[in-house]
């Protein structure tokens, strides 16, 4: 049987009607669109999977948790205690007055001791230890302390017994 193509019988051009097709002929006769169809459907599934992943990631991308709102700075009348950013700070002694001043975005406490007229500035907030106060000046006859918002720095007003005020700015 030399000279005949592989997979053909001797009497006809095609395979024998009762014979089994050989594997090579079956692969060769397979329509070419089935491979392209399979690849196309796999590409479509891959694209859908990527789109689904992107949608899930973007929808679950919550913004960073926002901290609870700052309860503000409170200075009770009965003493120099400040609640600032969720912490409670005790400054000075009974009878001292405390205000909080913002300057260039930095918020720091100031303390007036009316018994002596001394005005102090704190350069930080204590975490575990004490923070020393810096004596700014002495105002004789000081009776009150308040803050007025400024463009860059708040101004501190020290009220004096005679009705005048001393302004601390800068």
Distance CA 90, CA 146 (A): 18
Q: How far is CA 168 from CA 121, 144, 156, in A?
A: 11, 13, 5
DSSP 71: -
> Where is mean pLDDT largest: 6-10, 104-108, 116-120?
116-120
Quote the pLDDT of residue 144: 92
SS3 121: strand
In this structure, the answer to whether residues 50 and 120 fall within a common structural domain is no
In this structure, the answer to whether residues 104 and 140 fall within a common structural domain is yes
pLDDT-based confidence at 158, cuts 50/70/90?
very high
Q: Is the pTM of this model over 0.85?
A: no
In this structure, the answer to whether residues 149 and 95 fall within a common structural domain is yes
SS3 164: coil
By the 8 A CB rule, do 32 and 40 touch? no
By the 8 A CB rule, do 95 and 84 touch? no
Identify the CA nearest to 111 among candidates 102, 120, 101: 120
Residue 18 lies in a domain: no
Strands 97-103 and 155-160: unpaired
In this structure, the answer to whether residues 160 and 88 fall within a common structural domain is yes
In this structure, the answer to whether residues 111 and 142 fall within a common structural domain is yes
In this structure, the answer to whether residues 87 and 40 fall within a common structural domain is no
Residue 104 lies in a domain: yes
In this structure, the answer to whether residues 144 and 89 fall within a common structural domain is yes
Quote the pLDDT of residue 76: 46
Q: How many CB atoms lie within 10 A of CB 86?
A: 9
Per residue in 86-101, pLDDT (tens digit) is: 888 888 888 899 998 9
Structural domain of residue 124, as residue ranges?
81-168
């Amino acid at each position: 049987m030399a000279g005949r193509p592989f997979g053909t019988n001797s009497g006809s051009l095609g395979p024998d009607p009762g014979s089994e097709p050989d594997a090579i002929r079956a692969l060769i006769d397979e329509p070419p669109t089935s491979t392209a169809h399979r690849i196309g459907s796999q590409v479509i599934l891959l694209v859908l999977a990527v789109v689904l992943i992107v949608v899930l990631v973007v929808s679950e991308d919550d913004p960073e948790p926002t901290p609870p709102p700052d309860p503000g700075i409170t200075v009770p009348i009965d003493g120099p205690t400040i609640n600032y950013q969720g912490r409670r700070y005790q400054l000075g002694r009974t009878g001292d007055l405390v205000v909080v001043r913002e300057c260039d975005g930095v918020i720091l406490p100031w303390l007036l001791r009316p018994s002596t007229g001394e005005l102090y500035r704190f350069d930080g907030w204590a975490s575990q230890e004490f923070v020393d106060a810096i004596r700014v000046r002495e105002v004789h006859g000081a009776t009150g302390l308040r803050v007025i918002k400024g463009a860059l720095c708040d101004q501190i007003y020290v009220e004096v017994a005679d009705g005048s005020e001393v302004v601390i700015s800068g």
